[in-house]
Structure 1
Amino acid sequence: MEKLGNGSKESDRLMEFNQVTDSPRVRIGVLQHEDEMTFRATGGFVGFDLNGKKVFEGKKEYAYKITHDTSDAGEIRYAVRMHIRGSEREANERIGEWKSSGVETTKLQVGQKIPLVGGKVYDNREFWILSGTFFSEDEAEVHRRSLPDFGGMKVVPVITRPARGDLHLEGLVVKGGIRLVPANKSGRFILDNIRVGIGFHWDHRESQEY
C-alpha cells in the first residue's frame, strides 16, 4: 500500500511512495465490466487524481460508492517493436540508423517520470522503436516478416487514443481515475460484491480486502 506524507504542503500535493526504496507500490487491476464499485477502508485515507493532486479525504468504515457516467473507449493499433532503449538519446540514434537503411520508424515513450515527496523523481521510462501502424495483429506480423530481424522484434499493441471517462465519488468528479492511499501502512481497503472467476464455473461475487 502507498502511505501518506507528514502533512506538509508538498505531501498534500504529491502521492508518497515507499520511503525505503523510493519505488511506487504495486497496483492490481481488480474490476472488469462494472459500472460501480463500493468500498470501505479500515482507517482514514486520501484520494489523489492521476497527476498526484490531493482531491479527497476519506474516513474509517464508511461505505463509499464510485460510479462513472461519461466514457469513451480507447483505440488500439498494432506495430512492430524493433528495439527497447533506456534513454531517449539511444532511441533517436536507432531511429537514425533505421532511416539510413530506408526503414521509417517512430519512438514511443513507455512509463513516466513520477515526482516523489522530498523533490526526488522516480523514472521508469523506456523508449520503444516501432515500425508501422496496423489495424490487426496479422497485418503487423506480415510487416515484421518483411523486416531484417536482428532478434527480439515482436508485434505489440499500441494505444493510439487512450480511453477517457469521469469517476464520481461522494459528489466529486475525477477525470481518468483516482488513487486511494491509506493514512498509515496498516490501512486496508475492502471492496464489496466483487465478481471473481469471470467465465469459469466458479464465477461468483465476494468481498475482497487489499
Structure 2
Amino acid sequence: MRQQRIAAAAADTTVSLCVTVICSLTGLLRVIRMTDPDLNMLALGSDLTTLGLNLDSSEVLYATFAGPWAEGPSSGEPQFQLPQCYYMQPPSLKTTHFSKFTLETLFYIFYAMPSDILQAYAAQELYLRDWRFHADLKLWLKRATAADSAAQVRFIFFDHNVWERRGFSGPLPMSVAVGGGLTGGLMSEEDVRVKLPVA
C-alpha cells in the first residue's frame, strides 16, 4: 500500500515537472536557445535546403528527391534486371486442351468468361461429355447414371452457387413444367457449336 502511494506521488511529481519545466515558457526558452539538437529537430524540424533540395526551382521536388538519407538525387527509375523467364511467351491455348480439363475447370471457364470464344469452347466440350445446358434454368444438366438412379436421382446438375454437382429428383418448377418439361429447355449441340466466321 505504501509503495502504491509512493508511485502515485512520483507520477504526480513527473506530471507537475512536465507542466512547470517542459510545457511552459521555461521549456520554450530551452527550444529557443537551441542547446539540445534532439529537441530542436523535434520542435523545429530541419532545413530542407540542407538536404540538397532546390526550393527556388519551378520543377516538382519528388522527381529528384530520393529521401533524407540518400547520398545523391533520385535517378528516376531504379535499376533492375528482369529474369529471362519473364520474356518467354506462354503457350497458346489450343482447342484440344479443353478435352484435358476437369469438369470444374470447364464450368469455371463457362461462367467466368461470358461472351468469350473460350466460353463457347467450354460449352462445346461439356456437350461432348454429355452435359446439357438448360436455357430457362441457366443450369448444366446430365442424365443420371445407373449408380445415381439407385438414389432416385433423374438428373445431375452443376450448382454454380456452391460449385458442386448435385442430384435432382424433385418436382419441376411450374415455368419449366409448362414449357415442355426439363428436356424442353435444353439447348441442342448445334446451338453451342463454335461457328467460326468464313473469310
Q: Same fold (TM over 0.5)?
A: no
**Shorter-chain TM-score range:** under 0.3
Report the TM-score when normalising by structure 1: 0.17
More strand by share: 1
Higher CA-based Rg = 2
Report the TM-score when normalising by structure 2: 0.18
> Which fold has the larger relative contact order, with Cα–Cα distance below 8 Å and residues 6 or more apart in sequence?
1
